[in-house]
Amino acid sequence: MSAPTVSNPAAMAEYRHARERERTALLDGTALRPGSVVVDLQAAGGYLADGAVTCICVGPTAELSRRIRPVHRICEDPLDNPLTLPAQSVDTVLGLVALHHSPSHARNITEAYRILKPGGWLVVCEVLEHSKMARWLNGFVNRHNPAGHHGTFVRTGRIADHLLHTD
């Protein structure tokens, strides 16, 4: 499994609106309120939350963590391991194309539920298996990224299965 890496600056300059569109699509699925505590799984710069919330950015590598703005908390926990955050301590868990870096989507979703307060939100946006995006990430990105890229993408309906069967 490949660890997430820092995006190529040239690609981000050419497609500068892509991140904002992804962010908007994800945040449209939640109700962040001032004072909320939010976890950004696999934070790639802490751009999912704004200053109205406390954002805990889970960044599995020091390279990714360096990109996170100082207004956010950093939690350098690998996605596949239990988070060092206490149970029922956050209002919202956000995951923007983070799960495909992990071989166990169920373990990650279970961990997200462990840290959520009762009534909290889990909002996930992920790449589907066999999609054009999955082929591009495991093909083009894998060939042109020094760290490579081999994602385990979500099968249609599988995330819903995990949501229904977690403790």
The verdict on residue 3 lying in a domain is: no
The verdict on residue 42 lying in a domain is: yes
Q: Which two tokens stand for residue 102?
A: 């992990």
CB 145 within 8 A of CB 155: no
The verdict on residue 6 lying in a domain is: no
Per residue in 105-157, pLDDT tens? 888 888 899 999 999 999 888 888 899 989 988 998 888 888 888 888 888 76
The verdict on residue 8 lying in a domain is: no
Q: In terms of residue numbers, what domain contains 137?
A: 17-25+32-165
Per residue in 23-69, pLDDT tens? 788 888 787 888 889 998 877 666 676 666 888 888 767 777 777 77
The verdict on residue 7 lying in a domain is: no
Structurally, the chain folds into a number of domains equal to 1
Q: Is 142 left (phi over 0), alpha (psi -120 to 50) or beta?
A: alpha
How far are the Cα atoms of 46, 59, 117 from residue 9, in angstroms, in the given order? Answer: 16, 19, 37
The verdict on residue 105 lying in a domain is: yes
- Model pTM score: 0.79
Q: What is the pLDDT of residue 25?
A: 82
Whether residue 15 is predicted with pLDDT greater than 80 in this model: the reply is no
d(CA 46, CA 25): 16
CATH number at residue 121: 3.40.50.150
Q: In what order do the strands lie in the sheet with 73-75?
A: 73-75, 54-58, 37-41, 90-96, 116-125
